[in-house]
């Protein structure tokens, strides 16, 4: 394998890893936000329930 092809493959691998990492970070952030929103909704709902 020539050096140029090997370098291109390494660059592509690095690019894919960065893309995967960015995607994973985005998904994790979205899940965290959703989790926080659910907690807030539950807390608000609990406040609406009459205490006997």
Give the pLDDT score at 51: 81
Q: What are phi and psi of 39, to 5 degrees?
A: -60, -45
Place of tokens 């952030």: 29
CA 43 to chain centre: 25
d(CA 51, CA 22): 45
d(CA 10, CA 29): 28
Give the global pTM.
0.63
Give the pLDDT score at 25: 95
The 10s digit of each residue's pLDDT in 13-45 is 887 888 889 999 999 999 999 999 999 999 999
């Amino acid at each position: 394998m020539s050096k140029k092809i090997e370098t291109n493959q390494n660059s592509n691998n690095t690019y894919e890893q960065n893309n995967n990492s960015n995607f994973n970070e985005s998904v994790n952030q979205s899940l965290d936000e959703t989790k926080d929103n659910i907690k807030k909704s539950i807390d608000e709902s609990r406040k609406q329930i009459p205490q006997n």
